[in-house]
Structure 1
Amino acid sequence: MHDIEPYYHWRNHYTTEDDEYSPFYGSNYDEFYFSNKVYNYYIHPQWDAFGSDTLYLKVLYADYDTGFAIIELIGEWNDCLHNDIMYLKRKVLDVLMYRGIFKFAVIGESVFNFHGGDDDYYEEWNDEVREENGWIIFLNLHQHVYDEMVQSRIHHYVNLLPHLMNYEWRKQTPQNLFKTFEMLMNKHKFIETE
């Protein structure tokens, strides 16, 4: 796991450590000192800790004009034992939403397990986002993680669209991803209201 890095080809568009509104503003990353772990496995030092013992993230992109952020995750998402969604909501999402981000793309291809718990924080996140005409899309989840999220009723609060589970997001710019997801969610809302 130590060689899985957050996606870095968008650093010319955005860096979380240079964003004064980011919860990770001013962070320094040592490429050679590994301190964060998921259980007994060290992870690459570019990932950011936000309070969970088993889940880490990187805000790959945030655009305050469009209100859009892309977040990549790594580790085990465990709401049952560690209430990871609470840490994610309070330490990261609330900070971004305070600055006007209400459209989220969450990349989960490096989330190896999910254990559901209460859905209160998902409901709260969804309510706050919808009030601002925003949306939440999860993409590229492993099938067993996707299935567990559906069993835990997360799909009532976030968009788990099956055709986005093998999405080639790296071939696009963050701005193009925003346009694609915005168009998709507008179409999705139109279908829901018919």
Structure 2
Amino acid sequence: MHHIEPYYNWLKYYDSSSDLLSPFHGKEYNYELYTDTIYGYYIDPAWDAIGSETLYIKILFADYENGYAVIEMIGEWNDTLHNDIMHFKRNIIEHMMLQGLNKFILIGENILNFHGSDDCYYEEWFEEVEEGWIVAVNFREFVTEEWQNFNIDYYINFGGQFDHMNWRTQKPQDFCARIDAAVTKRIGL
């Protein structure tokens, strides 16, 4: 797992440690020292902790003018044992929403498993984005199937074209606009 790095080609457009409005503003990274682990496996030092033992993230892009945030994730999303959605919502999402962000794109290629609980935090997040939305891109099929078992599909847009997107070849602004257009078409706005 230590070889899986967050996507770094968008650093020329956005760096969460340099963003005054980011929950990770001022964080200094030691790329020589591996300290964080998921189930005993070290992860790359560029990933950011959210307060969970099993789920880490990297804010790849934030556009305060248009309300977009792109967040890459790694690990096991475990609401059953660690209430990961609570940590993610309270420690990261709420901070970002206070800065005016209301359109969240979650990149899930490195989410290896999901264990659900109830959907209260998802419902709360969905209601608080008001004119915005939450989209999950490239999550594994067995993860999204579990989401459906816990009714998370009521709150997060996923599936269809969001399952196999080649987002790395795009500039972040173009990717966000593409997702926005797809969501608008999907929900019929």
CA shift for structure 1 position 186: 1.4
Q: Tell me how far apart the structure 2 counterparts of residues 92 and 177 of structure 1 sit (CA, whole Å).
A: 21
Aligned to 2:178: 180
Shift of 1:146: 1.4
Stretches of structure 1 lacking an aligned partner (at least 5 in a row): none
Residue of structure 1 in register with 2:86 after alignment: 86
Quote how far apart the aligned CAs of 1:41 are: 0.2
Pairing 1:1-194 to 2, within 5 Å after superposition = 1-129=1-129, 131=130, 133-190=131-188
Any unmatched runs of 5+ in structure 2?
Answer: none
- Bigger drift between 44-53 and 150-159 goes to 150-159
1:68 and 1:163 map into 2 onto residues whose CA distance is 19
Letter in 2 for 1:153: N
Equivalents in 1 of 2:137, 2:176: separation in Å? 13
CA distance in 2, matches of 1:43, 1:189: 37
Q: Using structure 1 for the length normalisation, give the TM-score.
A: 0.95
Counterpart code for 1:13: Y
CA offset at residue 144 of structure 1?
Answer: 1.1
Task: Give me the whole-angstrom Cα distance separating, in 1, the residues matched to 2:181 and 2:77.
Answer: 29
Specify the code of the residue in structure 1 equivalent to 2:161: H
Partner amino acid for 1:102?
A: N
Paired residue secondary structure (1:20): coil
- Secondary structure of the residue aligned to 1:18 is coil
Q: Which amino acid counterpart does residue 100 of structure 2 have in structure 1?
A: G
Percent identity, please: 46
CA distance in 1, matches of 2:180, 2:61: 16
Equivalent-residue separation in structure 2 for 1:166 and 1:181 (angstroms): 13
Quote the offset at 1:37 in angstroms.
Answer: 0.4
